[in-house]
Amino acid sequence: MTAGGGRPLTIASTASAVTAVSRAFAAIAAGFMAAVLVGCSGGAETTPTGSAAESGPADGPAAGSARTSALVGRITTPWDAAFLPGGKALVTLRDAARVVLVDVDGSVKRVPAGGHHGRVPNVVNGGEGGLLGIAVADSFERNHYVYMYRTTSTGNEVVRMTLQSGTLADPRIVLRGIESSTHHNGGGLGFGPDGKLYVSTGDAEQRSLSQKLGSMNGKILRINADGSVPDDNPFSSSPVYSLGHRNVEGFGWDGRGRVWASEFGENTWDELNLIRAGKNYGWPDVEGVGDDPKFVNPVMTWSTADASPSGVAVRSGGVYLAALRGERLWYVPFTGRGGNGESSAGESGAGESSAGESSAGESGAGNGESVGAAKAYFTGKFGRLRNVVVAPDKSMWLFTDNGEASKIIRVTNL
């Protein structure tokens, strides 16, 4: 059930169950047709037949106008970015446990961080763990603080370091006690327009933790910059802002100060959620849309084959989600009052080509927000997409997730 009482879809009746099965078969057929068309066209983008949403909004970004270029042609497992005054970005490398400084011209420079061979100290990488989110506050020019989400031998935690003369130093743990696992570590990090630090966590492959208020796993957390709990958090003396999440890796704010977050589903539905303080998003009792009034329904869902969404960027027109398994960039446009602002969790070349597009996704206009049909860009073009961030010059940077062959792609006019 949505916060406003309206439901995009229910599964309480036999008829709706039949509808869900029909949609599943339609999605399989659409995926087969899309694969055939791509194979016949040498990888060109196509519009899948029988998709849940037939077309994008007339006022959405035009695929033909988008331009892409390789900002960084080869980089290993980039995960998140935090832009500094002047336009350069601190980028985390998950597996290498390093931070690099990426300039607007694509040059890359290592940032020593005091650990072995200049790595961020105490990071243990493996599976989905390692050096994940990174954020800086509006106060950066005054204190030079950089916040990072890292996996250690004892769990996941948020650490603050100080950037001085091109070096990260003086590590201080801001938040600890988040359980870790091979999968579902979350890792999103960002300062909201309210000045608070938001942290997204996964269930660490322990499903029951998502519903336990005493656990920080399977949550979106909200803390002060020093790690203390804000007085206006929805649960007294708790960093928990929302619960019932499986694995949130990306989120961002619209111009109205609202949080939009991606959600990895298990086997059926991935989600885009509009996050509200103190609300429960259902995992593990619900995956996708449900009919229990205790839980908030997603605004948009996709099959896990089409999405597996990680990073999120919010612009004035809608929400962008980077898809790993789906190997595409999803765009969900606002059709109501919208966002009127731009952000992603990580922020307060040659070979240009134009984007292709397709449409899919199940829109329910849930959670009190009206959204249009989801549109997909760059399907299969860059491989797995880990993150999408909005740069200070209003371009977007896409982080691919293809091991040592990963790239940072700059996108304009989208």
Instruction: Give the DSSP letter of residue 280.
Output: B
Domain range annotation of the chain: 14-412
pTM of the model: 0.83
**Confidence bin at 346 (pLDDT 50/70/90):** low
**Mean pLDDT score of the chain, rounded to an integer?**
85
Cis preceding linkage at 284, omega within 30: yes
Q: What is the pLDDT of residue 20?
A: 42
| β-pair partners for 326 | none
Which sign, positive or negative, has the C-alpha torsion 13, 15, 19, 21?
A: positive
Structure tokens at 273: 């959620």
- Segment 347-365, tens digit of pLDDT: 543 333 345 555 566 654 4
C-alpha span between 197 and 135 (Å, rounded): 9
Q: Is the pLDDT of residue 101 over 90?
A: yes
Q: Which of 148, 263, 260 is nearest to 202 (CA)?
A: 263
Element of type H or E holding 398: strand 396-400
- Segment 235-265, tens digit of pLDDT: 999 999 999 999 999 999 999 999 999 999 9
SS3 296: coil
Q: Could you give the C-alpha distances from 410 to 13, 85, 125, 414, in angstroms and in order?
A: 46, 19, 27, 11
Q: What is the pLDDT of residue 17?
A: 39
Return contacts of 28-31, CB within 8 angstroms, 24+ apart: 30/360, 31/303, 31/305, 31/306
Q: What is the pLDDT of residue 113?
A: 98
For domain 14-412, give the fold: Neuraminidase (2.120.10)
